[in-house]
């Protein structure tokens, strides 16, 4: 009797950081092992864009567009890695509050696993700000695998 995979579709949020790329690489391995599709998502944080617009001469829309362009490059890279492993892949760019957009996308598409990188926070920001990964865990309908970045050994 053939064993059925516990996963049918994996969601991988990315912000382009080393940690999120490490998480994406692990997610690609999991997806390849279970022969399931993978979706990558990049969320343009609207609040961050508004704050940047407040201290630059650029409009919020211009900053959002720049961030979307940057996100598209990350998504193209990760999708290429997944396709090279023979995986079905797609990617999405959203605007809004990252953890909310990630959870909403997981609900909309019936994702059954989210693989996300952990960004370590230290000091007072750790308590007050929380992290996207922690907030995703709190409000998402499916299991979340949080991946720590470990630098490559030389």
CATH at residue 51: 3.40.50.620
Model pTM score: 0.88
Domain membership flag for residue 68: yes
pLDDT, tens digit (0-9, with 9 covering 90-100), for 4-26? 788 999 999 999 999 999 999 99
Domain residues for 116?
Answer: 10-14+24-147
How many independent structural domains does the chain possess? 1
User: Encoding tokens for residue 43?
Assistant: 């969320």
> Which of 62, 152, 74 shows the shortest CA–CA distance to 82?
74
Residue 3 lies in a domain: no
Looking only at Cα atoms, what is the longest distance across the chain? Answer: 63
Q: Are strands 113-117 and 89-96 parallel, antiparallel or unpaired?
A: unpaired
The per-residue pLDDT for range 64-117, each reduced to its tens digit, is: 999 999 999 999 999 999 999 999 999 999 999 999 999 999 999 999 999 999
């Amino acid at each position: 009797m053939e064993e059925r995979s516990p996963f049918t579709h994996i969601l991988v949020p990315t912000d382009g950081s080393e940690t999120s790329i490490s998480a994406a690489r692990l997610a690609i391995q999991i997806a390849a092992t279970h022969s399931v599709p993978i979706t990558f998502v990049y969320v343009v944080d609207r609040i961050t864009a508004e704050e940047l617009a407040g201290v630059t001469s650029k409009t919020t829309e211009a900053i959002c567009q720049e961030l979307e362009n940057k996100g598209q490059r990350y998504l193209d890279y990760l999708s290429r890695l997944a396709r090279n492993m023979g995986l079905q892949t797609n990617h999405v760019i959203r605007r809004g509050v990252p953890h909310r957009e990630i959870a909403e996308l997981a609900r909309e598409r019936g994702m059954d696993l989210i693989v996300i990188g952990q960004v370590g926070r230290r000091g007072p920001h750790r308590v007050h700000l929380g992290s996207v990964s922690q907030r995703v865990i709190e409000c998402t309908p499916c299991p979340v695998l949080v991946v720590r970045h470990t630098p490559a050994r030389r």
